[in-house]
């Protein structure tokens, strides 16, 4: 079966058409809507959707193939997890490369000479329109962290090969971090 398709011509029977929309919650980062949609068979269904401004992430890789990683507490999970640097856009039209360059510098103190966009992904397409653009940064230069006043994190340098093993062993739970680690390892031939 060919999984590549033209959504306009081949998937009309799968498309849901919105018939009404209700704002449930408008927060600082998230907006929740309850939409009623018409299905291709004519029946209706309700979809609760989180609207998100979008985000960016980066896997910063040193010349020795080590990755600059962050450890921080995530309130919804009530635990500290290991992640790559990332952040939300400040505005819907913000340049994504500029946004991740800012996040890397603020969170870790690092800047980079080389930036490569390595893809986009939707972390939770069943209920959110968020998409994250992924970058790999090389040619790193250490500087000073400039964390937001409500941001607390520790920075670590970990070999990429060790991180691949940790992803495969289920030791890293963050999806964006898993995806970027595996993509970077493939790109770099590790």
User: Helices 175-187 and 160-168 meet at what angle, rounded to 10?
Assistant: 130
What global pTM score does this model have? 0.89
pLDDT at 153: 92
- Can you tell me the distance from the alpha carbon of 27 to that of 92, in angstroms, rounded to the nearest whole number? 15
- Can you tell me the distance from the alpha carbon of 172 to that of 16, in angstroms, rounded to the nearest whole number? 35
Residue 16 annotated among the catalytic residues of the structure: no
- Can you tell me the distance from the alpha carbon of 99 to that of 105, in angstroms, rounded to the nearest whole number? 10
What residue has token string 């640097």?
85
Which of 8, 149, 151, 162 is catalytic? The answer is 149
pLDDT at 64: 97
DSSP code string of 171-183 = ----HHHHHHHHH
Q: 3-state class of 7 per DSSP? A: helix
Give me the tens of pLDDT residue by residue for the chain, a chain 190 residues long: 556 656 566 677 788 899 999 999 999 889 999 999 999 889 999 999 999 999 999 999 999 999 999 999 999 999 999 999 999 999 889 999 999 999 999 999 999 999 999 999 999 999 999 999 999 999 999 999 888 888 899 999 999 999 999 999 999 999 999 999 999 999 999 8
pLDDT at 4: 63
pLDDT at 148: 81
Domains of the chain: 7-52 (no CATH), 55-187 (3.90.79.10)
pLDDT at 13: 77
């Amino acid at each position: 079966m060919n999984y590549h398709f033209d959504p306009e011509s081949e998937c009309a029977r799968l498309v849901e058409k919105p018939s009404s929309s209700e704002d449930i919650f408008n927060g600082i980062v998230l907006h929740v809507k309850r939409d009623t949609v018409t299905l291709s068979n004519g029946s209706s269904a309700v979809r609760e959707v989180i609207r998100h401004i979008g985000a960016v992430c980066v896997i910063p890789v040193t010349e020795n193939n080590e990755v600059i990683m962050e450890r921080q507490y995530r309130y919804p999970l009530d635990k500290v997890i290991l992640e790559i640097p990332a952040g939300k856009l400040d505005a819907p039209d913000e340049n994504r490369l500029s946004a991740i360059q800012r996040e890397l510098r603020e969170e870790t103190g690092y800047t980079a000479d080389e930036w490569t966009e390595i893809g986009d992904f939707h972390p939770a397409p069943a209920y959110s329109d968020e998409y994250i653009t992924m970058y790999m940064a090389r040619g790193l230069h250490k500087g000073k962290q400039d964390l937001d006043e409500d941001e607390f994190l520790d920075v670590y340098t970990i070999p990429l090969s060790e991180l691949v093993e940790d992803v495969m062993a289920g030791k890293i739970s963050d999806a964006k971090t898993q995806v970027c680690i595996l993509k970077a390892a493939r790109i770099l031939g590790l």
